[in-house]
Amino acid sequence: MKAVVVHGPGDVRIDERPEPVPAAGEVLLAVEWGGICGSDLSYWKYGASGTALLKHPLVLGHEVAGRIVTGPDAGRAATVHPATIESPDALPERISGRTNLHTRIRYFGSAAFDPHTDGAFSEYKVVRTDQIRLLPDGVSTKHGALAEPLAVALHAVNRAGSVRGRDVLVNGAGPIGALVVAAAKYQGARAVIAADVSPARLKIAQAMGADEVRDIAAGEALPDDVEVVFEASGVTAALGAVLRATARGGTLVQVGNLPGVPSPAVLGDLVTREITWTGSYRFVEEIADALTAMRDGLDVDPLITHIFGIGQVAEALATAADPASASSKVMLRLGAP
C-alpha cells in the first residue's frame, strides 16, 4: 500500500508498505481522506514538531476518515480518535476525566516517543476498535476527516464555559481559529468577531459564521471589552493587544500553540484587568460532539480550500505552508471515496 512518509526536513515520500493485518480488538480502515495539520507541516519543514524530534521515518497524519473493511461494522464510514493513553498512573481526582492531560499519550503521526507513532496518511490503517468513531448519516468521509480539528475547537469553547448569549472574539483565523468561530456560533454565541492579518482567512471565517471581521494588517484594531476571547494565532507579539481586548474580569482561552522558548510579550493587562487566562490542549471526547454538530448542520466545507491526490503530497504540503496560496485546510485524497 502507499503511505505518506517524512524522512527528514524537506524529505517527504510516497513509500510502499505492507498492507496491515488487524489483530483481535482491531479493524482495518480503508482511509479515504486526510487533512493536513500544522504538526504535519512542522515535521516536513523542520524534522520536528515542538519538542518532538524526528529520529526515524514517520507516516504523517491524524485527521482522517474512511470505511471499515473488517468486523461487524464493515462498510461503514468512520473517523478515528488518534490518541492512545500510556500513562501508568490514574489522573489526580482534581482532573479526573480530563484524559488529554495524561503525562504520556501517543498520537497518530507523532515523533514524541521512540519508536514513533505512525499516522494514517496511507491507503489502509489498522485501528483499535475503541478508537473508531462511526460517522452519522449525512456526514461524508471528506468532512468526517475534519472531526478531529473541530473537536479541538469545541474543547476550546468548552474551556471558556458557556458562550450562549455572549460576545466572542477569535484572534487568528487559520483552520483552528475558523473552526472555533463555527464552534462558538454552534454553542450559541450572540456575536463572533474574527481577527487576522490575512483577508483570505477572514473571508473563510465569515463563511464559517463570523458576524464581523477585523483585518489587522489593514490597520483595523481589535474590539474593546469582549467578554470571551480565543487566542488562536499562537503569536506572542499579539498577546498584549488580545489581553487589552478582553473585558475586565473576562476570559481568554489560549488555543494557539505558544513557543516553548522565551519570547517577549506584553502581559500587564492580565493582572490589572483580572483576566482568567486558560489553556486548551487537544480534546477529550469532543470528537463525538464534532460529529453530532456536523450531523446537525455545522458546515466545515468552507474551510476546505485545496484538494490533492496522495501522489501530490509534496505540492499539498507546500501549498498548506505558503501564505500566498490563501489556503486554509488542505485535504489529501488517500483512497477511493
Give the pLDDT confidence score for residue 337 in this predicted structure. 67
- Give 147's strand partners: none
Nearest to 174 by CA among 152, 158, 191, 155: 152
- Of the candidates 120, 57, 40, the one whose C-alpha atom is nearest the C-alpha of residue 321 is 40
Contact in structure between 16 and 75 (CB atoms under 8 Å):
no
**Averaged pLDDT in 10-residue chunks for the chain of 337 residues:** 98 97 98 97 96 96 98 97 94 96 96 97 98 98 98 98 98 98 98 98 98 98 98 97 98 94 94 98 97 98 98 98 96 90
End-to-end alpha carbon distance in the chain: 16
| Domains of the chain, earliest start first | 2-146+300-333 (3.90.180.10), 153-279 (3.40.50.720)
Residue 124, CA atoms < 13 Å, CB-side half-sphere: 15
Q: d(Cα 56, Cα 23) in Å, to the nearest integer? A: 25
C-beta of residue 300 within 8 angstroms of C-beta of residue 294: yes
Beta-carbon count within 10 A of 304 CB:
20
- How far is the C-alpha of 33 from the C-alpha of 66, rounded, in Å? 7
Q: How far is CA 256 from the centre of its chain?
A: 10
CA dihedral sign, ordered 304, 64, 105, 1: negative
How would you label 205-233 residue by residue, b for 16+ Cβ within 10 Å and e otherwise? bbbbbbeebbebeeeeebbeebbbbbbbb
User: Residue 260: its pLDDT value, please?
Assistant: 85
pLDDT, residue 261, reads 86
Q: Mutual orientation of helices 313-321 and 38-46 as an angle, nearest 10°? A: 100
C-alpha cell at 88: 501508568
For 83, 90, 117, 237, the CA distances from 24, given in Å and listed in that order, are 19, 25, 20, 50
* 162-185 as b/e: b if 16+ CB within 10 A: ebeebbbbbbbbbbbbbbbbbbbb
Q: Given strand 191-196, what is the order of strands in its sheet?
A: 212-215, 191-196, 167-171, 226-231, 246-254, 276-279
Q: What's the CA dihedral at 254, 225, 267, 272 to 10 degrees?
A: -130
For residue 46, the SS3 value is: helix
